[in-house]
Structure formats: C-alpha cells, structure tokens
Chain A
Amino acid sequence: MAPTKQAPTRQAITLKGSTNLVTEFFKYAANTILFQRGVYPADDFHMVKKYGQTVLVTQDLSLENYLEKILKQVNKWFLTGSITQLVLAIIAKDSRVTLERWVFDINLVDPPSSDSSEPAPAKPESEIQAEIRNILKQIVSTVTFLPVIDEPTVFNILAYTSESADIPADEWVDTDPLAIEASKSQQVKLRSFSTDVHRIEAMVAYRYEG
C-alpha cells in the first residue's frame, strides 16, 4: 500500500509546482509578445534575466497589475484543472480586427499507467527551462514572417475553460473568440514544453492579406 499512498501526495506537490512554473511562463511569454509585436512602446519594457536569457518585461504598472490579476485567476483554474487554452489576441484598435492570435494549448500529461511500478523520473528543471527558452526564442523569430503592425493595437486575453469552471462573474465575461477568418489566416505551430504535469503547446495565427 505504501507506494500508492505516496504517489498522490507527490502528484499534488508537483501540480502546484508545475502550475506556478506554467503561469510564470505565461507572464514572460505575454510580455515578450507584447514587446515584440509593439503593442506597447518599447521604452515601457526593461530587461530581466530569466531562464538564462534576457527577457523584456513591462514597467507599466497598470499593465503589470492587469497581467497579474489574470494570471492569478489562471493559476486557480490550473489547480482545478479546468483551463484548456489561453489565447493572447492582438486586435487593431480602430477597426477591431484581430491581427494575431497567440494560442497556448494546455494539456495534462497522462499519468504513467498503473501497471508500471516504476514512476517516470521527474523532469529536471533545467530541461524545462531550456524548452521554455526555445519557445521564447521562437516568438522572437516570428518577426521574419509576421506582418509589420503599424497601427495602434490592443490586446485581449481569452481563457478557454471547462463548463464546470468557477468563473468570477465581475471580471471575466463570455466573449467572441476573436477568430481570424479562415481564408486569411495563417497558422504556425511553435514549440511546446512540458512539465511532469502539464504540456503547453504554443501556436500563432496571423492575418495575412497578400
């Protein structure tokens, strides 16, 4: 009985750890996207060492608080396992047209089958960090094919949760998916990273008008 008793406790700890890791990743990924895509002026960002590289993080207090608030809620959803997708949509300010959708699919890693007595060895954090670093690098290198945005834009964060998720009504509202018309949309899959509990797959969809 001893191993079966031990397993859930370990799982509970890693779920929390993994959740924190993933939410932290979202914070830096969102900041990187907002900087690279020029949603906020470049002087609003300052350099921070993270994941063994330099990441630009906003200094704008209101934006910081906004992200913080969202990520707090996302963190809660993570712990209940009710979040399936997180989308950062970049929208033209005037025309309200969605220009880019940065999609992060959140999957739970299948727990190892009960037949195997040996639990999978924990993934070293350095490996996870390297994977995260690669995603952030890819976000940067998308400038090679993404259209230049020369109009003012705003951004919106969409969370796809399960039906049962507990949603604070005053902060989150049901909304349009802000999708890009299929005929004009181009999708590029970015790398993914996984912890022992979560697997995050990143993708960017953008509007291309030839």
Chain B
Amino acid sequence: MATRTVDMASIEQQKENITPMPGGRLASKLAANFNCASKSVSQFKQQQQLQREQFESKLSEVEELDDPLEVYVDYIKWTHDNFPQGSNSESGLLALLERCTSCFRDVLYYKNDPRYLKVWLEYSNYSDSPREIFVYLAKKEIGNQLALYYEEFAQYLESAGKINDARQVYEIGIELNARPFLRLEKSYKKFEERMMLRNNAPDSNTSSSIRDVLSVKKGSNSDSIGNENDGLSSSRKRQKLQVFNDEEYEQKLPSFKEALLDTLGLKDLGTIKARIKENVLSPKPWKGEIIKQKTESSRPNSSKFEVYKDQPESQENYEIIEDSDNLAYTIIHQPGKNTEKVSLNMKLVYPSPEEEYCFEEILAMSRRFDKLHIKNENIIPNENFSYPVERNQTYTIPLKDDTFTIPLKDDLQDDENESVKFKTKENDKSPNSPTITMYSKMAANEVYSMFNDAANNLTTDDEFDAKSEQENTTNYDGFVTETIRFPLKDNQEEPQRSKEVSNKDIEFRRRECEKLTFHRASIKCIN
C-alpha cells in the first residue's frame, strides 16, 4: 500500500494541464506519466505511439471480438490517462469518441450498455448542442432503459433552465422503468426538492445560475455563456461580424415528447468536424495569394496577463543612503511604481521582516531606556489613586551619567525652595545628553515624591501640608518637562512665569524636536 503513495510534487507542476474528470484520475498514472515525460519527451512520445498502434491494430479486427466495445472503452481510458490535458489534436480524444459512438449506434446489444452510453455522454460534453444528441439517442433508443440517460438529460435541461422539459424527462424515465429504478426515483425526488427551493427563493434566477465552486462544468458550454452574455453584449465591443441566430428555430423547437414521437425526422448527427466545416479553409491554388509576413513588432512582446509566481520571502526593495549631513534617507523601489524617497532610515523601523518599531521606541532604544518605557506603558494612569499605595511600587530608573530633569508643577512655585534643578552630576553647562521625558503620570508622581520628600526635609519652614501634597499628586494637566534653571524671585502672584526656561535650554529642546520629527532615522543605536 505504501508503494502506491504518490508524491504530490510530481503532479503539482502540471496541475493546470489536467482536465478534471467526473470520476477522478489515477494519481499514480498521472505521476508516472509526468515523470516519464520529464525524463525524455521523445522516448515518452514513442512509447505512446507504440501503445496507440496496438490499440489501432486491435480495432482493425474488431469484427472478430466478443466484446468490441471493450477495446474502445480501453482505448478511451488509455487516452484519458495519457493525455490529461483532455481533447486536443495530439490526444485525438474527440475523434476517438466519434468513432466509437458512430460504430455501434445501430448495434442492438449495446443500446442499453451503460459503457456505451457513457461514451455518448462524454461526447455530448464536446458538442455545442447536447440537446440534439440526447434527442438523437432517444430516437435511436440508445440508453432508453438506463436511468443514467434520463438523469443526465434532465440535469442538462435543468442547467439550461428548461425545468418543464427536465420534469418530462424524469417522468418518461420512470414510465419506462429505467434501471436502476430506485436511483432514478431518488434523483427525481431531489429534482423536485430543488425546484421547490427555487420557487421559494426570492431571486431564483441568480441563485440558479451560480455554479458550484470548482465543480466540473457539465452540459453545453454555449448555453451558459450565451445566458451570461445576454445583458453584457451591448457593452462589449462591437462584433466584427453578425452571427446569424436562428430564433425562429429555437422557438419552434419541439418539446422532448414531441421530438421523441417524431421518428420520421431522424437524421444523422454527423461529425463535429462536419458541423464546423465553415472553419476549415478549402484548398485552392497559391497563385496570387499573399502570405502574411511575420514582422518584428516595435513594441516588446508583452504577455497578456501576468503569470503568478510565489514571491520569495522578505525581499528588500529599498536602500539606505546617507547624505552629506549624516542624515540617512531611504530610497524605495517598487516595481511598477515611481521610486520614492523617504526621509527616514527604514532599517531602524524594520530591523528584520518580523520586527517593527515606532519612532518613540527607536528613540528609547537608542538611549537604552526601552526597558523603562515598556514598564511604564503597562501602567494605567489612575486619577484617583492614593499616594501611599503608589509608594509601594518601585521603578528602576537607570541614571548613569545622564542628566536627569524633573518636571515641576506650577502650583509649587510659591515656595522658592521647591523649584530645584535636580542633577546627578554637578554641571552647569547645558547637558550633552538630551532631557529625559517621563510619559506616565505615575512615573512622574514617583519622581515628585522623591523630590518632594527631599525638599521637605531640606526646608526649615514646614509649610508642606497635606493639602498641597494632595494637589501635587492629582493635578497633572500642566505637565512641564522643561529644565528649571533656577528659582525665580518674587513670583508669588504670577505662577505662570515659573515656566520660563533658559534660552539655551529652549534652543536645545527645539533642536531635539527637529531631530525627532524629521530626522529620527538618523539616530544611531548605541549598543
């Protein structure tokens, strides 16, 4: 059993070249054929030719066989297996079906042979008027004892929208006791159920025209296409030539029963080749004929549609360029679009295909504050929190050598002592490293508490009552992150002024902002 397992990989490359068959296909045969063909095409073709000749020689002595149909059935099956692409000039499937059907049409003992009927049914799939074939079969009494015939005919009529005719077909089948009778009855019942549903459905037309996804299309091609195009034909581009449409004939078309009774009008079906005789150019002298020359067209051979190809993963379509000011920008190349220039370093935003960072994260990372940042993010600011509870939480603030600036509240400015510049390193110069900004209220609160405690201890006059503390902790709207250079004098009436920052600092912050908004990407990771 294990030896029969076929690897899908050997079929997958050719999957578009396989016509689905109602009965399915032998995967082992498909794989074997594709393998042979991929090894040596000529050898494979030779082998096929040999097998074909064998069948042909068997067919030539068909008169001597007990079951001549069997040879045909085997031959057709062989064609299916060897030419999965279906009917084309190479496989000769259509010609073979034609030969088989015409060979036995008057042979009495095959008239109700399901194998023979199946050949006819397959043939009808290639015909542009399956209805005629079905009627022809009925007149020839081929398959009139078989439920399959009635089922297929009714299904075809149903898909063509001829519900009453389909019902009649079922009724005739049941009347004639076609075998297997039970199955026919069941199919009829299902048909009636479908009709009930269709009548109940609000828009019966649209629902009925939807074909099951990926199912094998049955019945006439021309019919369904014709129906779909009815509304669209006017919008389509003008037809090059008028196709004659015999509407009168369509209307005069007798119902199934009438057609059946009318045995006088029995005529040969003829071959499909004969039906499309208009498509074949008749031979004539070459004198005076102009042979079209193949001219090199000026425009390149552009394919009509793009063939889909699986994209290899993570294709980088941009390049990073650093300009004279040491600012990086990204050039994005997109096939079919204009090249774009973006003033940021994409490498930082997308360090790898799985990762993506926002600017703030990059900024934080570049300063090694990413841990702090993430921690603070998880804390939901609460307006009503109580101070002591807050205290229990600890924060790690990596101070290192960086200058640390504490935001201050307007309300606190009453007291001169409380506006203090907090620095880990006594350094009067404007800091080399940028100011740190705390984003969460809680973090800010915590720093306040540290700060205020220290201030509390320092101040000799103990005016720091609970009330003012309460104010400090809850009222945060005026979150100011400027560095307060020095306590301002005499500003009790004007708390606003305390916001003043030294020019130097403002300048620094301005530059910082610029960097952030426009050239964030130029930040280099310090790691």
User: A-side interface residues toward B, CB under 8 Å?
Assistant: 35-36, 38, 42, 124-127, 130, 138, 140-148, 150, 182, 185-191, 203, 206, 208-210
CA distance in complex: A186, B26 (Å)? 7
Do B6 and A187 have beta carbons less than 8 Å apart? Answer: yes
A-B contacts, 28 listed (Cβ < 8 Å): A38-B212, A125-B354, A126-B353, A127-B313, A138-B12, A140-B214, A141-B12, A143-B20, A144-B11, A144-B25, A145-B24, A148-B22, A148-B215, A148-B216, A185-B1, A185-B4, A187-B1, A187-B6, A188-B5, A188-B7, A188-B8, A189-B6, A191-B8, A208-B24, A208-B25, A208-B26, A209-B23, A210-B23
Residue of B nearest to A182 (CB): B1
With contacts A36-B214, A127-B313, A186-B4 taken as known, whether A145 is within 8 angstroms of B25 at the C-beta atoms is yes
Q: Does B121 contact A (CB under 8 A)?
A: no
Is B18 touching A210 in the complex (CB atoms < 8 A)?
Answer: no
Task: Verify if B9 is at the interface (C-beta below 8 Å from A).
Answer: yes
Q: Which residues in B have their C-beta under 8 angstroms from that of A189?
A: 5-8
B151 CB, min distance to chain A CBs, angstroms? 10
* Interface presence of B42 (CB below 8 A): no
In the complex formed, the residue of A with least CB distance to B213 is A42
- Which interface residue of A35, A140, A206, A210 has the most chain B CB atoms within 10 A? A210
Residues of A close to B77: CB separation below 8 A: 210
B-side contacts of A146, CB under 8 Å:
24
Within the complex, what minimum Cβ distance (angstroms) separates A82 from chain B? Answer: 24
A148, B24: Cβ atoms closer than 8 Å: yes
Chain A, Cβ-Cβ closest to B353: A126
Q: Are A148 and B6 in contact (CB under 8 A)?
A: no
Contacts of B313 in A (CB 8 A): 126-127, 130
B residues within 8 A CB of A190? 8
Residues of B within 8 A of A208 (CB): 23-26
B354 touches A42 (CB 8 A): no
B314 at the interface (CB under 8 A from A): yes
Of the candidates A124, A126, A145, A182, the one whose C-beta lies within 8 Å of that of B11 is A145
Sorted from nearest, which 8 A-B pairs have the closest CB atoms? Answer: A147-B24, A145-B25, A144-B18, A187-B5, A188-B27, A141-B15, A148-B22, A190-B8
Taken residue by residue from 345 to 368, chain B's Cβ proximity to chain A (1 for < 8 Å, 0 otherwise) reads as 000000001100000000000000
A155–B26 Cα distance when bound, in Å, is 23
Cα of A209 to Cα of B23 in the assembled complex, Å: 7
Given contacts A144-B18, A148-B21, A148-B24, 16 further A-B contacts (CB under 8 A): A35-B213, A127-B313, A138-B8, A138-B12, A143-B20, A144-B25, A147-B22, A147-B24, A148-B23, A148-B216, A190-B8, A191-B8, A191-B9, A208-B23, A210-B26, A210-B77
A187–B1 Cα distance when bound, in Å, is 9
Of the candidates B18, B27, B354, which one forms a contact with A187 in the assembled complex, judged by CB atoms under 8 Å apart?
Answer: B27
Give the CA-CA distance A24 to B308 in the complex, in Å: 27
A188 near B24: Cβ-Cβ < 8 Å: no
A209 cross-chain contacts in B, Cβ below 8 A: 23
Chain B contacts to A: CB under 8 angstroms: 1, 4-9, 11-12, 15, 18, 20-28, 30, 77, 212-216, 313-314, 353-354
Q: Which residue of B lies closest to A38 (CB)?
A: B212
Report A-chain residues with C-beta under 8 Å of the C-beta of B18. Answer: 144-145
Whether B26 and A188, one on each chain, are in contact in the complex, defined by CB atoms closer than 8 angstroms, is: no
Q: Measured between C-beta atoms, what is the minimum distance from B22 to chain A in Å?
A: 5
Q: Is the CB of B1 within 8 A of A148?
A: no
Complex: how many Å from CA A38 to CA B141? 35
Chain B residues with CB under 8 A of A138: 8, 12
CB distance from A89 to the nearest CB of B (A): 16
Alpha-carbon distance between A185 and B6 when the two chains are bound, in angstroms: 12
Min distance, Cβ B8 to any Cβ of chain A, angstroms: 5
Contact A144 B6 (CB under 8 A): no
**Residues from chain A with Cβ under 8 Å of B7 in the complex:** 188-189
Chain B residues within 8 Å of A145, by CB: 11, 18, 20, 24-27, 30
Residues on the B chain within 8 Å of A206, using CB: 24, 27
Shortest CB distance B263–A (Å): 33
Check B354–A124 contact: CB distance below 8 A.
Answer: yes
* Complex Cα spacing A163 to B25, Å: 38
Are B23 and A147 in contact (CB-based, < 8 A)?
yes
CA A141 to CA B353, docked complex, whole Å: 29
Kindly provide the distance from the CB of A179 to the nearest chain B CB, expressed in whole angstroms: 10
CB distance from A61 to the nearest CB of B (A): 22
Complex: A146 Cα to B28 Cα, angstroms:
12
CA distance in complex: A209, B12 (Å): 22
In the bound assembly, the distance between CA atoms of A123 and B4 in angstroms comes to: 32
CB <8 Å contact, A148 and B20? yes
Shortest distance between the CB of A86 and any CB in chain B (Å): 18
Enumerate chain B residues within 8 angstroms of A130, measured Cβ to Cβ. Answer: 313
Q: Give A139's nearest chain B residue, CB to CB.
A: B8
Closest residue on chain B to residue A145 by CB atoms: B25
Residues of A within 8 A of B15 (CB): 141, 144
Give A190 to B31 CA distance when docked, in angstroms.
Answer: 13
Task: Report the nearest B residue to A147, measured CB to CB.
Answer: B24
Give the residues in chain B near A187, CB-CB below 8 Å.
Answer: 1, 4-6, 27
Q: Nearest Cβ distance between residue A178 and chain B, in whole angstroms?
A: 15
> In this complex, what residue of A is CB-closest to B211?
A42
Inter-chain CA distance A188–B15, complex, in Å, is 14
Q: Give the residues in chain B near A203, CB-CB below 8 Å.
A: 5
Chain B: minimal CB distance from A37 (Å):
10
Instruction: Specify the chain B residue showing the minimal Cβ separation from A179.
Output: B1
Give the nearest-CB partner of A135 in chain B.
Answer: B8
**Chain A residue contacts of B11, Cβ below 8 A:** 144-145, 188
Contacts of B1 in A (CB 8 A): 182, 185, 187
- Chain A residues within an 8 Å CB radius of B24: 145-148, 206, 208
Instruction: Determine how close the nearest CB of chain B comes to the CB of A162; give it in whole angstroms.
Output: 22
**Complex interface: chain A residues within 8 A of B6 (CB):** 186-189
Contacts of B212 in A (CB 8 A): 38, 42
Q: CA of A191 to CA of B8 in the docked complex: distance in angstroms?
A: 7
Within the assembled complex, what's the spacing in Å between the Cα atoms of A74 and B384? Answer: 47
Residues of A within 8 Å of B4, CB to CB, are 185-187
Contact residues in A for B21 (Cβ distance below 8 Å)? 147-148
A190 to B30, CA, bound (A): 15
